[in-house]
Amino acid sequence: MSEQTEITLDELRHLVSERALSGETVLLNMGPQHPSTHGVLRLLLELDGETVVNCVPDIGFLHTGIEKNMEAKTYEKAEVMTDRLDYLNTVGNNLVYCLAIEKLADLDVPPRAQAIRVILTELQRLASHLVWLGTHALDMAAMSTFLYCFREREMILDIMEMCSGQRMMTTYFRPGGLWRDVPVGFETAVRQFVRIFPARIDQYESLLTKNPIFLDRTKGIGIISAEEAIRWGLTGPTLRGSGPNYDVRKAYPYSGYEQYDFDVPTATSGDVYGRYVIHVEEMRQSLRIIQQALDKLPYGPVRSNNRKYVPPPRSELGVSMEAVIHHFKLWTEGFSLPRGAVYLPVESPRGELGVYLESDGGPKPHRVHYRTPSFVHLQALPLLARGHLVADLVAIIGSIDIVLGDIDR
């Protein structure tokens, strides 16, 4: 082993206070393999007794270089990697990438594909919120909620599997539409889910919302004011828990969200409980969107027929020479986008998920950057955690809803 593998104390000196150097406070390492850090997050804690004086997040344990890898692949092949970023919001990552390509290429998406995209993204939001709710409650020792949440999440993953053949890494959305139309039985499955789910949300609420232990652990913990939240760039439920009513789906509608009638819940307390209330209410609103999208699900094609970007269907290959040429070109060289750069945000379950996509006119992206909400939210963790107990730190990490795959990319 080389002698340089340990970081020297001098390099970390500026991160901790004078009291830590004199030994008055204790430095404690939390993670990276800790069950309540929701992945491989390492925190360097400075503790005064049991009170957190400072906390320094250390990330990068899950860094996979996806942004670099995407630069070496054609646009369509690179999409497969986007699923692996935020593994609880896979179709959302596909969606933002496809929307960016469609914006650069000026590609139209048929209405049926847009509606199915909305249904699946909202189902994914429910699945993500269920994982969030289950693990967040589990962090505070409420074991049963976790089991109930994963029961319903399984139904959503079954619907994903029905459409794409995969439970999680779907890559179902493609530039210009969908991989293929949804199968027979999709509508029935979603309708059944929408029918039973409201009662299940009430069930989770009966376990937590008025539970005195849960209230003690969450009320008044990890408060952030609206001004601070905006200054730190927080978005999604974490921002709305403090008051500002900003939701990308309402502010910059995409994929036909402007057609649906839904509310954006906000709270004013800005604490862990406020963020919990918003997550639960968002589940109800997502159901409303799914219901509306299902009711007016149009018939028609699910992928654009612009052959410069979208490969022809299999049935055309036997009868059209042009289709064969397009098929060959698109699956060997890939399509080229005009030179340019876009930044496109969507509302992921965690907040504003943006993709910065730059094309140099060739068949491979020049630069892809994912602006991920978890990365921005984790930055504000020291601010939220200061002055709280170590046990509350666990509640705060849970409440800002981070996914480490989303942070490290």
Partner 1 sequence: MEHLTLVIQALQERFAAQRCDFCGDPSWLIDAAQLVPACRALRNEFGFEMLACQTASDYWPQMSPRFHVVYNLHSLTHRTRLNLRVPVEGDNPVVTSIVSLYPNANWHEREIWDMFGIRFDGHPDLRRILMPYDWEGHPLRKDYPLGYEEPQFTFNFDEIARRKHRGRYEEA
Rounded Cα–Cα distance for residues 360 and 391 (Å) = 50
Q: How far is the CB of 44 from partner 1 (least distance, A)?
A: 13
**Does an H or E element contain 56, and which?**
strand 51-58
Applying CB under 8 A, which residues contact partner 1? 1-2, 4-5, 7, 11, 14-15, 59-60, 63, 65, 67-69, 71-72, 103-104, 230-233, 244, 246, 251-252, 338-343, 345, 352, 354, 356, 358, 366-367, 369, 371, 375-376, 379-380, 408-409
The per-residue DSSP string of 183-215 comes to PTTHHHHHHHHHHHHHHHHHHHHHHHTT-HHHH
**Of the two residues 312 and 382, which places its CB atom closer to partner 1 in the complex?**
382
Query: Residue 298 contacts by C-beta under 8 Å, 6 or more apart in sequence?
Result: 111, 112, 115
Q: How far is the CB of 230 from partner 1 (least distance, A)?
A: 5
**Of the two residues 215 and 341, which places its CB atom closer to partner 1 in the complex?**
341
Q: How far is the CB of 267 from partner 1 (least distance, A)?
A: 17
Q: How far is the CB of 357 from partner 1 (least distance, A)?
A: 8
**DSSP code, position 303:** B
**Of the two residues 316 and 360, which places its CB atom closer to partner 1 in the complex?**
360
H-type alpha helices, 219-359: 226-231, 236-240, 248-251, 272-295, 314-317, 321-332
Rounded Cα–Cα distance for residues 206 and 230 (Å) = 32
* Short-list 299, 302, 295, CA closest to 261: 295
Report angle CA 93, 96, 101 to the nearest 5 degrees: 125
Rounded Cα–Cα distance for residues 80 and 85 (Å) = 10
**Of the two residues 170 and 348, which places its CB atom closer to partner 1 in the complex?**
348
The per-residue DSSP string of 359-391 comes to E-SSSSEEEEEEE-HHHHHHHTHHHHHTTSBHH
Copy the structure tokens of residue 285. Answer: 């609103």
**Of the two residues 135 and 374, which places its CB atom closer to partner 1 in the complex?**
374
Q: How far is the CB of 124 from partner 1 (least distance, A)?
A: 22
**Of the two residues 211 and 379, which places its CB atom closer to partner 1 in the complex?**
379
Copy the structure tokens of residue 165. Answer: 């053949």
Q: How far is the CB of 252 from partner 1 (least distance, A)?
A: 8
Q: How far is the CB of 132 from partner 1 (least distance, A)?
A: 22
**Of the two residues 167 and 369, which places its CB atom closer to partner 1 in the complex?**
369
**Of the two residues 72 and 196, which places its CB atom closer to partner 1 in the complex?**
72
Q: How far is the CB of 360 from partner 1 (least distance, A)?
A: 8
Which sign, positive or negative, has the C-alpha torsion 185, 189, 191, 192?
positive
Copy the structure tokens of residue 366. Answer: 């020049």
